[in-house]
Amino acid sequence: MSNPEAAILVIGDEILSGRTKDKNIGWLAEELTALGISLKQARIIADDRQTIIDTVREFSKNYDYVFTSGGIGPTHDDITTEAVAAAFDVPVIRHPEAMARLTRHYEGTDIEFNAARQKMANIPQGAELIDNPVSAAPGYRIENVHVMAGVPSILQAMFKGIAPGLQGGVQPTRITVQCAIGEGTIATIMEAVSGQFDGVSVGSYPWFKPGQFGTAVVLTGLDAGLVENAASALAQLVREQGFSARRDEDNSIIGPASPRPA
């Protein structure tokens, strides 16, 4: 059992400098997971033409879907469109429909539709426009690469427009087992469960509270029954070590009721 795979490419010097905090990767990851599309990689790169070209080619070849954010605005450093076009060996054109949308958007306003803003109508030849209900300037899809704005509210609106057309798969099943013991103590248990249940990812996330500590073990997979069995097996093994295990979903106690951290 497998789902379509995706990668996210965030483009922008301002992200790498720390001046702007990325808010798109986490949001897109949640949306893709809900659609049954497995996010396999997210990468942040600079506004560098060759880096964008190379990364777009790499991602387009290796993943079913690619989603980019950033670099399609009106300023001189917005070079994503030129680089994406070069990655697919096509020219950049002044797209008639994109130009019409922008013209209508600026009509009747006191904002000049100058040459810089007209640049946002430049689209790689053969690309399909992605609607922008927030500020009119469209994104676009070329082959399996979806190019969107970096502003989170605009990216989210764009993605919601294209989401119904994406071919998804099975939404993963995720079960969290809270164990009242440090992850180092149950490391061999997690390794054993991971090896026994192929297709189930087993991750550990330690937590600390005043006078208490433990490990949230998260089991994830596409086969709900397999994930359920893996969670039960892990809880049983933790119980045999004398520690409690509680599932977050239904608050049921799988192991001893009294935690015994050590």
User: Is 69 in the same domain as 184?
Assistant: no
User: Is 96 in the same domain as 74?
Assistant: yes
Query: Strands 145-148 and 65-69: what pairing?
Result: parallel
Count of residues for the chain? 262
Residue 10 parent element (H or E): strand 5-11
What's the confidence (pLDDT) of residue 1?
Answer: 67
pLDDT higher than 90, residue 120: yes
User: Is 208 in the same domain as 119?
Assistant: no
Residue 75 covered by a domain? yes
Q: Are residues 244 and 260 in contact, defined by beta-carbon separation less than 8 angstroms?
A: yes
User: Is 158 in the same domain as 40?
Assistant: yes
Give the tokens for residue 100: 């019409």
Query: Sorting pLDDT into bands at 50, 70 and 90, what band is 256?
Result: very low
Q: Tokens 């208490």 correspond to what residue?
A: 212
Mean pLDDT score across all residues of the chain: 93
Residue 177 covered by a domain? yes
- The helix/strand count (H/E) of the chain reads as 9, 12
Looking at residue 8, its amino acid is I
| Domain final position from 142, 165, 188 | 165
Lowest mean pLDDT among 33-37, 46-50, 114-118, 256-260: 256-260
Residue 183 covered by a domain? yes
Q: Could you tell me which residues come within 8 angstroms of residue 235 by beta carbon, excluding any fewer than 6 positions away? A: 177, 245, 247, 254, 255
pLDDT, tens only, 82-104: 999 999 999 999 999 999 999 99
Query: Sorting pLDDT into bands at 50, 70 and 90, what band is 2?
Result: confident
User: Is 28 in the same domain as 115?
Assistant: yes
Query: Sorting pLDDT into bands at 50, 70 and 90, what band is 225?
Result: very high
- Domain count for the chain, please give it: 2
pTM of the shown model: 0.87
Residue 218 covered by a domain? yes
Return the closest-CA partner of residue 159 out of 51, 17, 15, 23. Answer: 23
Residue 262 covered by a domain? no
To the nearest 10°, the Cα dihedral for 92, 97, 101, 107? 100
d(Cα 41, Cα 25) in Å, to the nearest integer?
A: 10
User: Is 153 in the same domain as 26?
Assistant: yes
Lowest mean pLDDT among 70-84, 88-102, 151-165, 237-251: 237-251
Residue 259 covered by a domain? no
pLDDT (average), residues 28-34: 96
| Domain final position from 165, 183, 218 | 165
User: Is 204 in the same domain as 229?
Assistant: yes
Residue 184 belongs to domain spanning: 173-247
d(Cα 22, Cα 9) in Å, to the nearest integer?
A: 11
What's the confidence (pLDDT) of residue 251?
Answer: 37
Looking at residue 74, its amino acid is P
User: Is 140 in the same domain as 55?
Assistant: yes
User: Is 149 in the same domain as 179?
Assistant: no
pLDDT (average), residues 46-55: 98
User: Is 93 in the same domain as 216?
Assistant: no
| Domain final position from 165, 187, 206 | 165
Residue 20 covered by a domain? yes
CATH number at residue 208: 3.30.70.260
User: Is 35 in the same domain as 146?
Assistant: yes
User: Is 136 in the same domain as 13?
Assistant: yes
pLDDT, tens only, 180-203: 999 999 999 999 999 999 999 999
